[in-house]
Structure 1
Amino acid sequence: MKKFIGELEDNFCSAILLIMTLLTCINVFARYIFHSSMPFVEELTSLGLVIISLTGAAVAAKRGAHLGLTVLTDLLSKEKQKWFTLLGHLLGAVFGGVMLFYGVLMAYQEYTLKQTTAGMQWPEWLFGMFIPISGGVLLIRYVQLFIQVYKRKENKE
C-alpha cells in the first residue's frame, strides 16, 4: 500500500500524459483527414498541462529533483547546509499550503458563480479543483522531506 501511494503521483502524471498524447494525435488526424478539428481537445490538453506541471512539482520534490543553486551553501558547514535544506523544505510546504488555500477559494468562487469553460461549457471548478489538490500533495511531500532531513540531523548528533 505504501508503494502504491508513493507512486500515485507518478502514475497519475503518466496517465494524464498518455491521455493528452492520444487526444492530440486523434485531433491532428481528424484535422488533416476529415478537415475538421475537435475544439474540446485544446481545453483538455491545457488542463492536462496544468495538472502535470503542478503534480510534477510534487514528484520532483519527492525525488529531490528540483533545481538548486549551491554556490553559497557549498561554502557552509554540513550543519548549516542542513538548516538551509530545512528552510527550503519549509518554504516549499508554505507554497503548497498557499496553493491549497487560495485554490480552494478559487474553485469555490468558480462554483458559486457557475463559471463554465469556453469550448465545452463544463463547470470551471472541475478544472480549478486540481490546484488545491496539487497544492495539498505538494504540502504533504515537503512536510515529509522536512521530517526526513530533521530526523537525519538528530541521529548524527
Structure 2
Amino acid sequence: MSDNSPDTDDTGDFESGLPGFLGIFDVFISKVEAVMLAAGVLLMALNTCVNVVARYVFQEGMFYTGEVNRILIILITFAGIGYAARHGRHIRMSAIFDALPLMGRKILMIIIALFTSVVMFFLCYYSYEYIVTLAGRGRILPALGFEVWMIYVWAPVGFAITGIQYLLTAIKNFRTREVYLSTGVRDGYADTESEV
C-alpha cells in the first residue's frame, strides 16, 4: 500500500489529481485554506504576544485581544476542517475498513465521502440559519463594536468547503482504481519505523 501523504509537485504545492475544472477548483480551495490557516495562526500569535508585552511593559493590556483571538479561533477551526479533509487527516475508525478487499474499501469510501458531504452541507445550512438569527438580534461585540453574527460567517463557509471536498473525494474514488481518502491522499499507511 502507498503512504497517505498528500500528492505534491516538486515545489511542494498540492496537486488535486482531478481533471479539468474540478482539479483547478480543488487547488484554488487548497490555497485559500492554507492562506487562511497560516494568517489566522500568525495573527493570533502576534496578537497574544503584543498583548503580553503591553501588559507587562506598560501595565495595561489591549482590551480587544480576547475578541480578536475568538474571531481567529473560529476562522482557524472552520478553515481547518476543510484542510483536514483535503489532506485525509480527520480521525477515522478503520478496523473494518482496513479488513475489506480493495473493491469493498472503495465502495465504503464512496459511501462515507457522500454521507459526510451531505452532513457538511446540512450543517452549512443550519449554521447559516444561526447567523440569520444572530443578525436579527443585533448584538455587537463590546470591544470591537461590530455585530456578533459577522464572526460566525466562517462556520457555513468551512462546512461548505468541507462538503465540497468530500464530494470531490467521492468523485475521485469513482474515477480511479485506487482508494483515496481525499482527492490527493491515497489510502494506506506510511512506514514510520526506521531501520536500525
Cα RMSD of the aligned pairs, angstroms, is: 1.9
Contact 2:131 2:149 in 1 (8 A): yes
Give unmatched runs, 5+ long, in structure 1: none
Q: Does 1:29 pair with 2:53? A: yes
CA deviations over 1:84-118 (Å, ceiling 9, x no partner): 21122122212221221011111111111112224
The separation in 2 between residues aligned to 1:4 and 1:152, in whole angstroms, is 22
Instruction: Name the one with the larger helix percent.
Output: 1
Q: Does 1:41 pair with 2:59? A: no
SS of 1:140's equivalent in the other structure is: helix
Q: Does 1:106 pair with 2:113? A: no
Give unmatched runs, 5+ long, in structure 2: 1-22, 179-196
- The number of residues matched between the two structures is 154
The separation in 2 between residues aligned to 1:26 and 1:95, in whole angstroms, is 39
CA deviations over 1:117-136 (Å, ceiling 9, x no partner): 24333201111211111111
Using the size of structure 1 for normalisation, the TM-score is 0.89
Partner of residue 160, structure 2: 136
Q: Which runs of 4+ in 1 moved over 6 A?
A: none
Using the size of structure 2 for normalisation, the TM-score is 0.72
Q: Does 1:82 pair with 2:106? A: yes
Q: Identity, % of aligned pairs?
A: 23
Q: Does 1:152 pair with 2:180? A: no
The separation in 1 between residues aligned to 2:136 and 2:32, in whole angstroms, is 31
